[in-house]
Structure 1
Amino acid sequence: MSEYQYYEFLALDRPLNATEKAYVQSLSSRVELTLTQAKFVYHYGDFRGNSHELLEKCFDVMLYMASWGSRQLIFRFPKSLVNADIFEPYCLEDRITISTTKKSVILDINIHDEEMNHWIDSGEGYLSDMASLRNDLLQGDMRSLYLAWLKAAPIYFDPEEEDYIEPPVPANLNNLPNSLLVLIDFLELEQDLIAGAARASESQEEEEESLEDLIPKLSEREKNDFLVRLIKGESHVGMQLTNRLREFAGKREVRIDNNIPRRTLSELLKLAEGEINQRKKNEQEAAHQTKIQKLEALAKRKDKVWEQIFELLKLKQSKPYDQAVAHLVDLRDLAEYQGKLEEFQTSIKQMQIDYSSRPGLISRLQKAMLLVK
């Protein structure tokens, strides 16, 4: 299997300047570079740069994926916009980590799963669909981090050593936007595990906010400060103002009910097993209902099907034999459903007598377990 590595970086807060573009270009002559994006693809060799360093200097989010089962998503946040402590409950050693620099907070989701060790030929499209997760995290929506924990924890879980306690469960895990669905696909996270975990997740309706109506709550000093910073072209002024106004509305962060009992990973895995069993039961029931509908439709044209079978047998050819036997299998299922299996077997016995000189047909009947002794 060929090797494939894909790195993509996005600048969300501002475009790259000339110096930054030159720096990125120096890392690889094959980089696909624009003012807001850099892509590196390797089928051999490796990335010469340092991902954290490149984020700190130029970009705001990075995606990495490799054909041997590695998935990585890194977000850079300005220290002025986020308190790193809110991410701590979701961290796992070496897998979901927080680091800080002079100006930034770096959230690094780095997962290796042998089950994801399969051929991939393109990582393009994922990051653009997940870029909005950075803004969600800035606004206190921890669903992406919870899902990342849900992926990482079972991989490194050893029940003989430690049973992890889940982090706080965010609201609305039962109602996921496209960005989170893409994250689930990127991490190849099991839907049954999500469904089990989501049982403890509240449903919160997002209410329309009129943030403009809250501006009078700002002091004159705050208003003037925001205006001066806006004139100076400072980054993130709009986000900081929005966050300040959301504080007045009591909606700075997506609410997490700390009264909800926290479950162990073992309990979550049992819930996932229950979801799997229920799903299989539902699928079996749906398949059974579909089969009944099919059989009831077949019952209305049973005589016509028998006619088709005998017409096919007259052709004395392999393909018509296969078609005839397929019809007979359906008629056997119908006979079982109607409680008329003995009547059907009588017809098969007569067919065995009438067509005993046709080994091709007889062998097909035997293979389909239609022969009657």
Structure 2
Amino acid sequence: MSEYQYYEFAAIDRPLTPQQQAELRSRSTRATITASSFINEYHWGDLKGDPLDWMRRYFDAHVYYANWGSCCLLLRLPRATLEQAVLDAFVLPAERGSAFSASATDEHWILDWSDWDEEGSGDCERFWDEESQHWMARLLPLRDELLRGDTRPLYLGWLARLCGGELDDAAVEPPLPAGLQTLSGAQQALVEYLQIDPDWLAAAAGASEPLPASDETAPALDAWLDAQTPETLRAALRLLLEGRGAQAEREARRRFLDWQRSRQPVVAAPTRRRVADIAVLRQAAAQRRLERERQARDAEEARQRAERRQHLAQLAEQADVVWTDIDRTLQRGTGAAYDRALQSLRALSEALAQAGREREFRLGLDRLQQSHGRRGAWVKRLIAAGWVEK
């Protein structure tokens, strides 16, 4: 297997300046570089730079994967997006090289979801198919979800650590977010990207509350908007007009969530489970998955059998046409023709047997032998099939 590595970076909040693009160009003459991206593939050699350093200086997102199975997703978020205490529940104790970790600059968090398979022992088919170069497009919406306060991507990172054997049975899960049973498309892509065990995910998600319906949120939004001062609304509109729509949404959503929490009754947080507790649920989840897979296989096999019976019934109705086609095919006198005729004969034999017309098949075969019994290569095929004796 030849070596293959794929690097893609994206600048979202602010485009790269001409100087920054020139700096990146000095690192690679082959890369595709624009004001919003850097893309390069390597069949030998490697990136002349540290992706984490590039994230600090230039970019908001990075996707990397190699054909031996290693992969990495980096996302840069403003520090105001996540409180330290919230993030700590998902990543501590963890260092870079973990399946999920975080680092900080003065202004940003850089979140790192990784699966480093240096021995190439994992399944890397997801990096070889025709969809492989769409990973950035599939994963990038995670950043917007995090900016909107959705912590499911963080929990999936914790699950990736669990699947990677980083956590012992006594480790306690982070706060369980709502909606784990109905992941977004980007979150499902992250599950595939990191190869998170579906049984661990099902076990963890079983206790996750459903997301509130949009029609349940609308009255609260209206009430909050009614309580805003003209100065607050003016500030939000100014951010929009200045092209800082993401910042405007982020700040407005944070204020709305704070207002909403202040009006809700204090409810005891659900008990956070130990890994050992979730492991028990995982066994049950695995059994349910295996049963679903068995039922799916049985249903597929039943469908195929029904289609086969229908096909054979139609073939039996057209037996005269099939006999004529076999006769014409044999007249060509080539090996390929004999193989095709034998294939048609096998299907017709099965069709007529299903219809209870075995005697009709034997009579038709005798007629064929009268016309083509001197074709040695054809007769050898019939002997091998058990239809005639030596």
Aligning the two structures, in what range does the TM-score lie when normalised by the shorter sequence?
0.7 to 0.9
Aligned to 1:217: 227
Aligned equivalent of 2:179: 171
Query: In 2 relative to 1, CA 163–260 (structure 1 residues): closer, same or farther, beyond 3 Å?
Result: closer
Identity of aligned residues (%): 25
Taking the TM superposition and a 5 Å limit, the aligned residue runs for 1:200-349 are 204=211, 206-207=213-214, 211=221, 214-218=224-228, 236-248=247-259, 263-264=278-279, 265-338=282-355, 340=356, 342-343=358-359, 346-347=362-363
1:45 matched to 2:52: no
Question: Residue 45 of structure 2: SS of its match in structure 1?
Answer: coil
- Structure 2 equivalent of residue 104 of structure 1: 108
Q: Deviations over 1:89-130 (max 9, x none)?
A: 655951112233332222111113533446849964421343
Task: Give the match's secondary structure for 1:68.
Answer: coil
Deviation at 1:86, TM superposition (A): 4.4
Q: By how many angstroms is 1:276 displaced?
A: 3.0
**What displacement does 1:268 show?**
4.3
Return closer, same or farther for 1:313/1:226 CA change in 2, 3 Å cut-off.
closer
Letter in 1 for 2:63: L
| Superposition deviation, residue 313 in structure 1 | 3.3
Give the 3-state SS of the residue equivalent to 1:75 in structure 2.
strand
For the structure 1 residues 175 and 6, does the alpha-carbon distance in structure 2 shift closer, same or farther, using more than 3 Å as the test? closer
Assess, with a 3 A threshold, how the Cα gap between structure 1 residues 141 and 273 changes in structure 2: closer, same or farther.
farther
Query: What is the distance in 2 between the residues matched to 1:295 and 1:163?
Result: 60
Q: CA separation of 1:127/1:121 partners in 2, compared to 1, >3 Å: closer, same or farther? A: same
Distance 1:306 1:145, change over 3 A: farther
2:34 aligns with: 34
Which of 139, 163, 166 aligns to 1:130? It is 139
Q: Distance in 2 between matches of 1:193 and 1:348?
A: 60
- Identify which range, 65-74 or 275-284, moves more after superposition: 275-284
Deviation digits for residues 25-84 of structure 1, max 9, x if unmatched?
A: 444344432222122332222223222222122211111111221111011111111235
Is the contact between residue 11 and residue 37 of structure 1 (CA under 8 Å) also seen in structure 2? Answer: yes
RMSD between aligned residues? 4.4
1:75 aligns with 2:75: yes
- Seen in structure 2, the aligned counterparts of structure 1 residues 81 and 198 have a Cα distance that, compared at 3 Å, is closer
Q: 2:160·2:194 contact (CA, 8 Å) conserved in 1?
A: yes
1:316 counterpart SS class: coil
Query: What is the CA deviation profile of residues 305-344 of structure 1, one whole-angstrom value per residue up to 9, with x for unaligned ones?
Result: 2233234334433333222211221122223433x27536
Report the AA paired with residue 240 of structure 1: E
* Secondary structure in 2 matching 1:236: helix
Q: CA deviation at 1:241?
A: 1.0
1:253 matched residue in structure 2: none
- Structure 2: segments with no counterpart, 5+ residues: 262-268
Task: Find out whether 1:16 has 2:16 as its counterpart.
Answer: yes
Whether the 8 Å CA contact 2:312–2:350 is kept in 1: the answer is: yes
For residue 379 of structure 2, what is the aligned residue in structure 1? 362
Deviating more after overlay: 85-94 vs 60-69: 85-94
- 2: distance between equivalents of 1:346 and 1:192? 54
Per-residue CA distance 1:209-264 (angstroms, 9 max, x = gap): 665663232357755775787799877233211332355567xxxxxx95898742
The alignment partner of 1:3 has SS state of: coil
- Give yes or no for contact 1:226–1:241 (8 Å, CA) kept in 2: yes
Q: Structure 2 counterpart of 1:306, which letter?
A: W
Q: CA offsets per residue over residues 171-226 of structure 1, 9 Å max, x none?
A: 2645643x446546645678899789877766657526665663232357755775
Which residue identity does 1:325 align to in structure 2?
Answer: L
Give the TM-score taking structure 1 as reference length: 0.75
Determine the C-alpha separation between the residues in 1 that align with 2:228 and 2:252.
10
* 1:134 Cα deviation from its structure 2 partner: 0.5
Q: Distance in 2 between matches of 1:61 and 1:53?
A: 12
